[in-house]
Amino acid sequence: MSVFMSGFASLVGHLADLLQPLFQGGATAAAIILFTACVRLAVHPLSRAAARGQKARTKLSPQIAALRKKHSKNPERLQKAIMELHKKEQVSPLAGCLPSLLQIPAFFLMYHLFSSREIGGKPNELLGHSLGAAPLGDRWKDALADGGIFGGAGLVYVALFVIVVAVATFNYRRTKSQMAAMPMPTAGADGQQMPGMGAMTKLMPLLSFATLLTVGVVPLAAALYVVTSTTWTAVERAFLYRDVPAGALATAA
């Protein structure tokens, strides 16, 4: 693991050296953003495949609705019938999860790299790099302790929080419009209320704002990864689903 982390630290360091003429003291932060963009580019073909699968599932919505009505009193038979339909139409219900799952290792690499005082038995020199006045290995609580919200480090986090809120608001409005166009059912076919569905319907549009918590508790380098990836996701989904009606995605979900 230490050898792997040393290699990753060297990669980030080399990227920072390449970007040094353009970004000066912010070269390492720029390298993290570039690394995140490279990861997202690498998984973009999977995102496109997931979008194709999502669009294919929208076409199956009437058939799935018919199956739900037909097997309303037999959940096991319903699940089997839906799986058979997906298999017949060559649609994978898990395809949309792959882009997110494949990014998890990259995030934890960044988190571990900027949480470790030593890499390969040597001091972690990357911890001495910063974005503005905020060290990349520090957290929001460190910024608050060193100058408060409007101190040099605090303002860096203010900027990140503004970006996160802007992206989350965009996602919130998009999700709300989808759910308004095609509300999620909160009752089963037998008319009985499904436990937790009402609360889920209310909370789902707010999930995008959970990124604020992540940015506030992880090292700044990992926060940069999260903010960049989240922004990329919002733009990517808006592009890939630009020709899909809002209600259609909610129906497929």
- Residue-wise pLDDT for 43-77, tens only, equals 999 888 888 877 777 777 778 778 888 877 778 88
Higher pLDDT residue, 205 or 26? 26
Residue where the block lists tokens 């230490």: 2
| Alpha helices (H) along 192-245 | 197-203, 211-217, 220-240
Secondary structure letter of residue 192 according to DSSP: P
Residue 118 corresponds to which tokens in the numbers above?
Answer: 């030593």
Rounded to 10 degrees, the C-alpha dihedral 9/10/15/16 comes to 70
pTM above 0.75, yes or no: yes
Indicate the angle between helix axes 220-240 and 98-113, nearest 10 degrees: 160
What pLDDT score does 19 carry? 96
Reduce the DSSP state of residue 193 to 3 states and report it: strand
Q: pLDDT value at position 203? A: 65
How far apart are the C-alpha atoms of 153 and 132, rounded to whole Å? 7
Q: Is the dihedral of CA 64, 67, 72, 76 positive or negative?
A: negative
Q: Do β-strands 130-131 and 118-119 pair in parallel, antiparallel, or remain unpaired?
A: unpaired
Q: How many CA atoms does the CB half-sphere of 7 hold within 13 Å?
A: 3
pLDDT in tens, 83-138: 877 777 666 656 567 777 888 899 999 999 999 998 888 899 999 999 999 999 99
Tokens standing for residue 240: 């890939």
Condensed to tens digits (0 to 9), the pLDDT of residues 196-252 reads 445 555 666 577 788 999 999 999 999 999 999 999 999 998 888 877 655 455 444
pLDDT band at 186 (very low <50, low <70, confident <90, very high): very low
